[in-house]
Amino acid sequence: MARVRQERAEITRQAILDGAAVAFDRTGFGGTSLSDVVKRAGVTKGALYFHFPSKEALARTLIDEQFQVSKDVPALEDPGLQTVIDLTHQMAFGLRTNARIRAGIRLVIEFGSFTSPDPSPYNAWIETCRSCLTPAQERGDIMPSLDVQDLSTFLVGSFTGVQVTSHVRADREDLHARVVDLWNYLLPGIVPAPRIGLFDPAGSAACRAELGLPAPQTPVPVG
Band (217; pLDDT cuts 50, 70, 90): low
Going by pLDDT thresholds of 50, 70 and 90, the confidence category of residue 119 is confident
Quote the percentage of the chain above a pLDDT of 90: 74
Of the listed ranges 54-63, 179-188, 208-217, the least confidently predicted one is 208-217
CB 61 within 8 A of CB 14: no
Q: What per-residue confidence (pLDDT) applies to 109?
A: 83
